[in-house]
Structure 1
Amino acid sequence: MTKSRKKVTQEPKKNESEGTLFKMAASIGIHVGGTSSCLALEKDGKIDVVANDLGDRTTPAVVSFSDREKIVGLAAKQGQFRNPSKTITGATNLLGKKFSDPSIEEEKNRSQVAIVEKNGAPVYQIECNERSQLVTPEEVISMIMSKLKETAEHQGGCTVKELVLTLPVDEATTDYETSLRAAAQKAGFDVLRCISEHAAGALAYDLGQTSPKQISFVVIFKFGGKSLSISVLRIQGGIYQTVTSQLHTDVNGNLLTNQLAKVAAEDFKRQFKADISDNKRAVAKLRNACENCKHILSRLNSASLSVDSLYDGIDFHNSISRAKFEAVANGILQQCGMYAEKAVVLMGGSSCIPKLQQLLKDRFPTAELKNSISPEEVAAIGAAKEASIILSCHDEGISLQDEDLSIPALSQDVIVKVKITLTFLGFITFLLNRSVTDESGTEERFTVLQRGAYLPVRRHQTFRIGQGVSSVTVLVSTVATPEAEPQPLGQVVISSLDEADVENGHISATFHFKRDGSLDVTCTADGSGKQETLNINGA
């Protein structure tokens, strides 16, 4: 959740003794994603993204190490194919996680930098100056933030200190937030607050800010480098509450780049009778060039693909049209359209693709696509606005307590297992229709709320029951990962179901997750109205 208050515009303060004007500090919003980072600055009532020293409004979230220096940003990314074992990408994927987390194994397979364990946490192992060096994910993120801070102070001409950070939907855990705050503090920032990327996206467009009494629902569509996430936000009184969210890691912008690189490699093979698929250096160089083309094709109808000495000294030059790219990416883009119910705010670099935007417009003709702000910059701008709001509250003398500046979120999935107990006659009927292994009845498992969901939130689930059912047990548990064993929290049992319940065939369950982490469960037999409740503290 995030709450806004009216902002106050102030004149610069005057130093009585010197008769000069102080240079006022700016409000900062920073977004660090898996592939890129962005900083937005609010100064004198205006908010804009700060371009780096190369004129780019986003900076690659890449850090490269050598015996002499550490390189951050585009230079590190471009040199990745020459220095793969010392170039770190996707550091946010390790942030706040234990080495035993199943996702770490996947990251070890993806990363060309060695990932090892230190004190139960994953760290990068790099060889520099003929000795091994361990680098934590927090240190990598801190280097990226330090680069952004340096750029902002140089380009913005003001002091950069207080900031608001954005949290990705799939990593909105306490451990992740703690690590992210630590990285920012190491870079010299004072963290005012952390807000979800999706809340920042809505805030960037001032959604729900002009009509505070009106209740509205907006959909945030974020198509980034490593995932596609879609959330429905309920907005009232300047408060953003996540109603539901979906995360799809099997659909992401990196897949588009890989598909384009695959087609380009086939073109190279056809022209020069050479296969580069087993040459990691050549593949990395070609993929890097294809990623640049992907960004260009979001704005122009064609892009030139040029790689000097791609393979065996052969220079590769090719032209890629937007139509060809869209044909290559069509399958992935169609999947994006399937997932969305309606689209309002576009976020993530891959959301810039014109065909994806057209697919969403065609599918939902009545929905307004919010794309006037670059999708790569939306999160940072929203965070900068939040920072400005918080600092304005300080100026007005409004004291914000810690609970006002925190975003409670679930650190684990909450699941329910529904067990149906049959009467003797019902059990015989069940055996005649299907085979069962549990002689006491049947079981179904549902995920009520996913890890990272923001509180408070309410969920409603309806369970079907058939003939011959005597009771229904709803067991509530938490689970850290799909492979982990569920940890039971409690259960609700509705017994002695009568004919009205069986004829109606439904049991309704309401799960109310409160801000303090407690959970209220209410189960109702729709036929008779029989009701049972469960209260769990600190779920």
Structure 2
Amino acid sequence: MSKHRTCFGISFGNTSLCIAVQKDGKTDVVANDSGERTTPAVVNFSQNEICVGALSKNRLLRQPRATIPGVKRFLGSTDASLWDLSAHIPCEAHEGSLRFTVTYEKDDDELCERKVTTEELITYQLKKLHDIAQNQRNDDSYPCVISVPTSFSEELRKVVKTCAENAGFDVLRVINEPSAAALVYLNRKEPTIESPHILVYRLGGESSDVTILKYNGGIQQIICSERMISTGGQQWTVECAKYAAEEFKRKTKVSWDELSQRSKGKVLAAAEEAKHVLSTMESCVCSAESIHEGLDMNVQLTRARFEKSAQNHLLRAKQNILDVLGTAQITRDQVNMVVLSGGGCRMVSIQNMIASEFPSAEICKRIAPDEAVAVGSAIEADILYSRQVACDEKHLKRAIKLPTLSKNIDIQLRDGSAETILAKGTATPCKFEGPILLGDDEASVKILLLQEGLPLAKVVMADLNDNSDLTLSVEVLEDCTLRCQCVDKTTNRIESIIVE
């Protein structure tokens, strides 16, 4: 297969970045220059370079005024009060965005200030991924699919697309993170699978998502999706750090409050590393050098003790899942697949909780959870790029105008109320199909589709009889065209309308 079928999938989170490549019929994550498969979403500024990744994360403690951790959660916001590191780096609203002021030293020890916006920081992060991609494709074009939360508006998706293009990528489509994660496993399913409910659980660094998808005829439909900013992997890290600090205090009489900000950062970094180790090992040593007056911290930590310290967060994660199931009005037994994504889902306690709550479902964790979204995005990129090879440029541009539905598509019921059949955020192309039931002595039917309460399309079929077997089909195509069709299977009559 030629280099022209080399495509990329991008997952950029608030705490980490990941890029996968689809090449020669295989999909895999591309390691960065440090050999790591994920890259910290941290940007450091100096006189000679702008650095993204592990080195920047290490500089966060030593150069807090020149280093900015993930800012994805601030995209589209102008609320500077949300910035929790304002003591080190000032933040202000500026032209519809947030602008940060970093300070670093020049070679002559003179302090230099630089102002940078949220969009610029995200572009630097994506440029780092582009540098990684260059090891896989030495070309002027780097086709990719990039994933975003379902809550991102069309405007934010355009901003992300622009940032990626400024970083050097050719963005084929912007898709939803849970859809990308599910695609990893649905791509291998037999076509006989019918209408399964798929739960995608993402536990990231600072937030989590629960999404219910329905899969039918190769089309994913988002039934319900909720983001919880109060539940993230960082909370497990903090609990681990608290336990380590208590053990350090028991041995040295030095409390957490007596530690400097830099020492607290060291303990949190050590706790994060211990959390990762305990995902594969039963015990580890949580250690950090020179915590207080030359004293080192070395705390023996077991997985059981770690899980006990964070039990309340695990229960909250479980309740979040149950709440979304209630909102979607489905039971646990109706969930056929559970897909895990996000680095937090590497924790054994999370995997055991999911397996316990969904004993009859397939638990999908073959792909590392923090890599699943990138891999699914790369699969989608290959699908889209293969179509581009066969289509002219004009057709392609039309095909990527509407990566997801920006509004619900509803159908008006007999009592005048409306019911959503294709939800906002559903990836296109998408399709709804269902039966139409006739009332007693009813000889005609009117189908009225709505968007935000306004008429979108109307189909009327008259002269029906008692034996009429009606089916409604509503489909949104890749070129943004909507096709509504009513079929009488007994007579093969069709009434349809196309809205462009």
Kept in 1: contact 2:271–2:286 (CA 8 A):
yes
Task: Tell me which residue corresponds to 1:349.
Answer: 343
Cα gap change, 1:84/1:358 in structure 2, threshold over 3 Å: closer, same or farther?
same
**2:212 aligned partner:** 232
Match of 1:253 in 2: 233
Q: Structure 1: how far apart are the matches of 2:99 and 2:90?
A: 8
- Other-structure match for 2:357: 363
Shift of 1:262: 1.2
In 2, Cα distance between equivalents of 1:403 and 1:25? 19
| Correspondence 1:381 to 2:375 | yes
Shift of 1:118: 1.7
In the other structure, the counterpart of 1:118 is 94
Which residue of 159, 163, 168 corresponds with 1:183?
163
Instruction: State how far apart, in whole Å, the 1-side matches of 2:93 and 2:431 are.
Output: 36
> What is the aligned counterpart of 1:294 among 238, 256, 275?
275
Aligned residue in 2 for 1:35:
15
Separation of aligned partners in 2, 1:403 and 1:388 = 15
Q: 1:66 aligns with which of 19, 26, 46?
A: 46
**Distance of 1:266 and 1:452 partners within structure 2:** 47
| Displacement after TM superposition at 1:30 (Å) | 0.7
Cα 1:123/1:317, change in 2 over 3 Å? same
Q: For residues 213 and 401 of structure 1, what CA distance do their matches in structure 2 show?
A: 32
Q: How does 1:315-354 map to 2 (within 5 A)?
A: 315-340=296-321, 341=332, 342=335, 344-354=338-348
For residues 293 and 65 of structure 2, the distance between their equivalents in structure 1, rounded to whole angstroms, comes to: 22
1:156-235 to 2 correspondences below 5 Å: 156=136, 158-159=138-139, 161-170=142-151, 172-207=152-187, 210-211=190-191, 214-235=194-215
% identity of equivalent residues: 30
| Cα gap change, 1:223 to 1:210, in 2 (>3 Å) | same
* 1:445-524 alignment runs, 5 A limit: 453-454=425-426
Equivalent-residue separation in structure 2 for 1:287 and 1:410 (angstroms): 40
Distance change >3 Å, CA 108–CA 335, structure 1 → 2: closer
Q: Verify the 8 A CA contact 1:212 1:236 in the aligned structure 2.
A: no
* Rounded Cα–Cα distance in structure 2 between residues aligned with 1:386 and 1:26: 12
| Cα offsets for 1:104-141 (capped at 9, x unmatched) | 52234678432112223211111234343111122212
What's the CA shift for 1:192? 0.6
1:79-124 deviation digits (Å, cap 9, x = unpaired): 21111122111211122x1414xxx522346784321122232111
Query: Alpha-carbon deviations, 1:140-182, whole Å to 9, x = none?
Result: 122222222222323x364461110001234x21232122112
Q: Is contact 2:103–2:113 with CA below 8 Å preserved after alignment?
A: yes
TM-score, normalization by structure 1: 0.70
Partner of 2:254: 274
The counterpart of 1:137, out of the listed 107, 112, 118, is 118
* Aligned residue pairs, count: 415
Alpha-carbon shift at residue 277 of structure 1 (Å): 2.9
Q: CA separation of 1:223/1:42 partners in 2, compared to 1, >3 Å: closer, same or farther?
A: same
The offset of 1:276, in angstroms, is 3.3
Pairwise CA distance, 1:363: 1.9
TM-score normalised over the length of structure 2: 0.75
Question: More displaced, 40-49 or 123-132?
Answer: 123-132
| TM-aligned CA distance change 1:94 to 1:409, over 3 Å | farther
Match of 1:150 in 2: 131
CA distance in 1, matches of 2:238, 2:196: 38
> Could you say which residue in structure 2 is the equivalent of 1:402?
398
RMSD: 3.5
Change (3 A) 1:198 1:394: same
Report the residue type matching 1:329 in the other structure: A
